[in-house]
């Protein structure tokens, strides 16, 4: 890909410390070097960042992933953006493959925050001109940021893998709840019109991460179920859904998700829930150690192509057509 970049125009890529492997992989795909950066924590936890090269007039892309401790990673990216703004970067694009606080995108009840909007405001205030993210929890988050938002989709990556490894003859696309049915329909369209099913579930709004899976709507008997979600955190919903599908006579269950958050006890749950394979991407740092069934697909090519299109003022939409 190195022939892409016209160095006269000055694309500069910066990576936070949360997921350095992803930063390096994106840089390799683009054929540029990550800009050398000094980043350190003071004794009281404050973060210091300084870039070792001039950023004046550059088209700057600041990549940060959000594993735990995510609040520290957010602050680091904001500080990097501020340093670029004060260093006279021409345009600053914040690249957040996994958008933090995306689940808090509306008020469920009174006196609650809309934290996903707050993140967008913070990025804007720090000096970001545009945002890039992959598979936002809900599309409306694009409207929270006052500027261009490039919303990338990992679906082609995941569907290609499923097609290669499981074919499309005997599969059924399963949404873990009614809210993801629209996404399941898109999967179905790509995978030769595979049939759909969804798991009807109830959630206790007073208890975080607590979900009860009830029953399957749709025919899954004797079929390979592709169970999809945009993110898996503790794995409770998904493990419950696998159990319900197994009881409904599913021959096999394959889990596919873009963002493998995998907070404890997700690994134990997903290892022992009866799913044949868990497929995710590395928008968050992943480690297959201790997993029996985890497959990690690289997101760097998609992120690099997006950065390239933005830099060349091309069309990001064409990446999905």
pLDDT in tens, 62-85: 999 999 999 999 999 999 999 999
pLDDT in tens, 36-58: 999 999 999 999 999 999 999 99
Residues 261-269, mean pLDDT to the nearest whole number: 97
Residue 287 CB partners (closer than 8 Å, separation 6+) = none
What ranges make up the beta strands (E) of the chain? Answer: 11-15, 37-41, 47-51, 59-63, 91-96, 130-134, 149-152, 171-175, 196-203, 211-217, 224-232, 252-260, 277-281, 294-297
pLDDT value at position 116? 97
**Of 107, 201, 210, 305, which residue is the catalytic one?**
201
Does the annotation place 137 within a ligand binding site?
A: yes
Q: What is the DSSP string of 253-274?
A: EEEEEEEE---TTHHHHHHHS-
Does the annotation place 229 within a ligand binding site?
A: yes
Does the reported pTM lie above 0.75? Answer: yes
Residues 187/228, Cβ–Cβ less than 8 Å: yes
Q: Is 186 annotated in the active site?
A: no
Reported as a pLDDT band with limits 50, 70 and 90, residue 2 is low
Residues 233-238, mean pLDDT to the nearest whole number: 94
Reported as a pLDDT band with limits 50, 70 and 90, residue 252 is very high
Residues 280-289, mean pLDDT to the nearest whole number: 97
Residues 199/244, Cβ–Cβ less than 8 Å: yes
Residues 254/238, Cβ–Cβ less than 8 Å: no
**CATH number of this structure's domain 11-152, picked from the four choices 3.40.50.2020, 3.40.120.10, 3.20.20.70, 3.40.605.10:** 3.40.50.2020
Reported as a pLDDT band with limits 50, 70 and 90, residue 178 is confident
pLDDT in tens, 81-98: 999 999 999 999 999 999
- How far is Cα 251 from Cα 224, in angstroms, rounded to an integer? 6
pLDDT value at position 255? 98
Residues 162-172, mean pLDDT to the nearest whole number: 97
- How far is Cα 283 from Cα 303, in angstroms, rounded to an integer? 10
Question: Residue 296, SS3?
Answer: strand
Does the annotation place 19 within a ligand binding site?
A: no
Q: Do the first three CATH levels of 11-152 and 155-204+211-298 match, i.e. the same topology?
A: yes
- Can you tell me which residue has the tokens 């269950």? 253
The size of the chain, in residues, is 321
Does the annotation place 139 within a ligand binding site?
A: no
Does the annotation place 177 within a ligand binding site?
A: yes
pLDDT in tens, 94-117: 999 999 999 999 998 999 999 999
Give, rounded to a whole angstrom, the gap between the first and last alpha carbons of the chain. 20
Q: In whole numbers, what is the pLDDT of the chain averaged over residues? A: 94
pLDDT value at position 179? 84
Topology, domain 155-204+211-298: Rossmann fold (3.40.50)
Nearest to residue 262, comparing CAs of 253, 275, 271?
A: 271
Does the annotation place 146 within a ligand binding site?
A: no
Comparing 295 with 321, the larger pLDDT belongs to 295
Does the annotation place 105 within a ligand binding site?
A: no
Question: Residue 50, SS3?
Answer: strand
Evaluate if residue 208 carries a pLDDT over 90. Answer: no
Does the annotation place 46 within a ligand binding site?
A: yes
Q: In the chain, what are the domain boundaries?
A: 11-152, 155-204+211-298
């Amino acid at each position: 890909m190195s022939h892409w970049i016209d160095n006269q125009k000055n694309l500069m890529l910066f990576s936070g410390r949360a997921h350095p492997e992803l930063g390096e992989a994106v840089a390799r795909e683009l054929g540029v070097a990550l800009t050398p950066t000094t980043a350190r924590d003071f004794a009281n936890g404050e973060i210091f960042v300084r870039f070792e090269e001039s950023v004046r007039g550059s088209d700057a892309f600041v990549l940060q992933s959000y594993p735990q401790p995510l609040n520290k990673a957010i602050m680091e990216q904001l500080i990097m953006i501020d340093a670029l703004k004060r260093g006279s970067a021409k345009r600053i694009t914040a690249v957040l493959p996994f958008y933090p606080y995306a689940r808090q995108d509306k008020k469920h009840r009174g006196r609650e925050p809309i934290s996903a909007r707050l993140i967008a405001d913070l990025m804007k205030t720090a000096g970001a001109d545009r945002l890039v993210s992959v598979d936002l929890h809900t599309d409306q988050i694009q409207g929270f940021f006052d500027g261009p938002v490039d919303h990338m989709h990992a679906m082609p990556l995941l569907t290609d893998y499923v097609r290669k490894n499981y074919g499309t003859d005997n599969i059924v696309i399963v949404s873990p709840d009614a809210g993801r049915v629209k996404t399941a329909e898109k999967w179905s369209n790509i995978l030769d019109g595979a049939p759909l099913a969804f798991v009807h579930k109830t959630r206790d709004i007073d208890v975080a991460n607590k979900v009860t899976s009830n029953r399957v709507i749709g025919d899954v008997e004797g079929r390979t179920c592709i169970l999809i979600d945009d993110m898996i955190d503790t794995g409770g919903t998904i493990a419950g859904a696998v159990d319900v599908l197994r009881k409904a006579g599913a021959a096999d269950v394959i889990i596919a998700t873009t963002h493998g958050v995998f907070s404890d006890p997700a690994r134990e749950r997903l290892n022992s829930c009866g799913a044949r394979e868990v497929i995710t991407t590395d928008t968050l740092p992943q480690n297959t150690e201790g997993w029996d069934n985890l497959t990690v697909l690289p997101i760097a090519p998609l992120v690099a192509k997006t950065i390239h299109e933005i830099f060349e003022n091309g069309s990001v939409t064409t990446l999905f057509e």
